[in-house]
Amino acid sequence: MKYSMAWLSYRRLPFYEGKEYFRKIYVQEEDEITGTAVYELCRGARELLGIKTVVIKLPEPFGQDERGKTEEGIYLLSDSKGPVGGGYRIAEENGRIRITAAEPEGLLYGSFDLIRLVQRGVSLRGIDRLKHPDNPLRMLNHWDNMDGSIERGYSGNSFFFRNDRVQVEERTEDYARLTASVGINGVVINNVNVTEKATRLITGEYADSLKRMVKIFSKYGIRLYLSLNFAAPMELGGLETADPEAEEVKAWWQEQMKETFRNIPSLGGFLVKADSEGRPGPFTYGRTQAQGANMLAEAVRPYGGIIIWRCFVYNCTQDWRDRKTDRARSAYDYFMPLDGKFEENVILQIKNGPMDFQVREPVSSLFGSLKNTNQMLEVQIAQEYTGQQRHVCYLIPQFKEILGFHTYCRKEEDTVADIVSGRSFSHKNCGMAAVANTGSDANWTGHDLAAANWFGFGRLAFDTSLSAEEIAREWCECTFGTDKAVVYAICKILLMSWPAYEKYTSPLGIGWMLTPNNHYGPNVDGYEYDRWGTYHRADHLGIGVERGKTGTGFTQTYLEPNASLYEEIETCPEELLLFFHYMPYTYRLKSGKTLIQHIYDSHFEGVEDVEEMVSLWEGLKGKIPEEVFERVMLRMDHQLDNSAEWRDQINSYFYRKSFIMDEKGRKIY
């Protein structure tokens, strides 16, 4: 086997009681996506249950009387009054399972859901599940480059690009299966940093291969999106400017989009990183982010395209003496004044926190503040800052906290989940995106356990009410089967992994104590003496960035009562204390411990947690495939060493800065 099928690696379930349903599938429609649903059900039946399925076309129209028939089997029924937007209902009665949906996507998601239930050994008798996706857009953003490398990729090379060419191969289809099986409906295949060849993806040059990719994606209800280069009119069109207000620039984009959508009519639209980390954008011409986004929005509107405009705009050359400029403020400061100024087919894509995917950050204050602008939440399952898929770090608990955050933008339905689902402000163009963690490795994600983040992101974006535990269990049972001891150990590892990573890395929300550029391993001062605006401001008395009113004022970008909550030291959530305030090492936390003692204790604890994870994993020998066991064991051994390195560097740094001894007298260098 060249690569595994992750959670779709079906293992035989000879004793499954619901086998009989799968002998016959009755289907009404003949469209492509329903065809995929049928194919997947048959494949699941064959591989999981060893059954050959007969597919029976139902008579048209399929009325009430036919529904009364007693033939056993699975019925895929489209019903215009049924669940919409990819929603579905699965109901069992008298040996018949009906999957009903208004659209074929719903039938596909319902079928994958049914297969999951079988994989997990759940009885289908009397089942009645009604599911509606919470988020209209559920997207993966791949940072894949055309040369085959992946920016922040930790699982091999790109399977979308190689040697400056688009790859469409067997793996494309298997990727689509995995991705669609958890409800993802949009994929950006190329890096947001668009340079050289990638700029040409919108031209006819790559149209044939992109069309082939689209064909595969559409069978699985996935839309293709591309990242674009704001300076394309200059780089491709030979214009002297990319000014969004210049007539020749507008005309160039309109012509180009005509060609692009002629080549790929079902293209969803574009993701844009502008004016960020050296990428071109409207600021060069004294224009706003809205002027830039709207110009593109106009060009794609005739084709139903959307522009997803990233809010990751900040000045990455901050002087360390400047204590007023605050990278945390920048997205808010640039975009808040533009609320309501974006076209309907523009969506602002906002990173979950105001900095950059650290293990702990507050939620971006743009959520809740922006009321008249389509918004999407961007999270990162590529573990750039959370152990790079060498450490286990199951991020779904983090995403749950973010989604559950009350912004107080309204009396009810005021959480991030409410906002990005469109519930708060009746938005239709909105949802969730994750920077993807896949690559050409045999297990897709480098670390076998990192697949739980890919699976989990999709499941969560579809159903934000699922708990991190439920998702972990689902993933684990689909991937490894239902052996109780296995499920217990793996779920325990997953659920303790994010808190452990937080404990042994940077303390209390401060972030950034890792090696500059490659972002792996400890380096407490690595960013302190650099230009990126990511300081911790530690000295011999204390540590933290003052972001209250007397500091950068970032606390005041939140709506009340959050602004006051973060402003006051007594009410500021302790896990974020150093993000918001400079605090002395002798400050007493609610636990009664001093800040410095907390730093020591949490770092020792974090490594102990990893020791526990290692021993839980060791207990799985012989219970899961040998190859997976060994692969993960190797990474866990490394994680243990690396976490100890983190502990020692952080603890000795603070010991030497503060000169305060560990109360417990442990080894600190």
127 contact partners, CB below 8 Å, separation of at least 6: 90, 91, 92, 97, 117
Please, are residues 521 and 514 in contact by the beta-carbon 8 Å criterion? Answer: yes
Q: How far is the CB of 144 from ligand GCW (least distance, A)?
A: 11
* Single residue of 90, 192, 419, 583 touching ligand GCW by CB under 6 A: 192
* Single residue of 16, 21, 143, 217 touching ligand GCW by CB under 6 A: 143
DSSP 421-472: HTTTTT-SS-EEEEE----SSTTSSSSGGGHHHHHHHHHHHH-TTS-HHHHH
**CA–CA gap between residue 43 and residue 583 (Å, rounded):** 59
C-alpha distances out from residue 255 to 237, 243, 637, Å: 11, 16, 55
Scanning 32-188, the segments in alpha helix (DSSP H) are: 32-44, 64-67, 104-119, 170-181
Residue 270: in which H helix or E strand, if any?
Answer: strand 269-272
Site for ligand GCW in 242-301 (CB under 6 A): 273
Q: Is 150 in the site for ligand GCW (CB under 6 A)?
A: no
Residue 174 designated active-site: no
Please, are residues 646 and 501 in contact by the beta-carbon 8 Å criterion? Answer: no
Q: Which CB sits closer to ligand GCW, 152 or 603?
A: 152
Q: Which CB sits closer to ligand GCW, 276 or 594?
A: 276
Q: Is 312 in the site for ligand GCW (CB under 6 A)?
A: yes
Q: Is 152 in the site for ligand GCW (CB under 6 A)?
A: yes
Residue 170 designated active-site: no
Q: Cα 28 to the chain's mean position, in Å? A: 35
Q: How far is the CB of 188 from ligand GCW (least distance, A)?
A: 11
The SS3 call for residue 308 is strand
Q: Which CB sits closer to ligand GCW, 384 or 502?
A: 384
Only one residue has tokens 């670390």, namely 447
Q: How far is the CB of 405 from ligand GCW (least distance, A)?
A: 21
Q: How far is the CB of 356 from ligand GCW (least distance, A)?
A: 4
Q: Is 315 in the site for ligand GCW (CB under 6 A)?
A: no
Residue nearest to ligand GCW (CB): 356
Q: How far is the CB of 143 from ligand GCW (least distance, A)?
A: 5
Q: Is 193 in the site for ligand GCW (CB under 6 A)?
A: yes
C-alpha distances out from residue 594 to 572, 588, 655, 664, Å: 16, 4, 13, 13
Point out which residues pair with 346 in neighbouring strands. 307
* Single residue of 20, 66, 151, 648 touching ligand GCW by CB under 6 A: 151
Q: Is 20 in the site for ligand GCW (CB under 6 A)?
A: no
Residue 356 designated active-site: yes
* Single residue of 298, 356, 601, 609 touching ligand GCW by CB under 6 A: 356
558-565 long-range contacts, CB within 8 A, separation 24+: 558/365, 558/368, 558/369, 558/407, 559/368, 559/369, 559/407, 559/408, 559/409, 560/408, 561/408, 562/406, 562/407, 562/408
Please, are residues 153 and 445 in contact by the beta-carbon 8 Å criterion? Answer: no
Q: How far is the CB of 468 from ligand GCW (least distance, A)?
A: 24
User: Any idea what DSSP says for residue 177?
Assistant: H
Q: Is 149 in the site for ligand GCW (CB under 6 A)?
A: no
Q: How far is the CB of 299 from ligand GCW (least distance, A)?
A: 23
Residues 88-127: x/- map of binding to ligand GCW (CB under 6 A)?
A: ----------------------------------------
Cis check: omega of the bond before 625, within 30 degrees of 0: no
Could you say which of 356, 448, 474, 502 is catalytic? 356
Which spans of this chain sit near ligand GCW (rule: CB under 6 A)? 143, 151-152, 192-193, 273, 312, 356, 384
The residues carrying an active-site annotation are 277, 356, 384
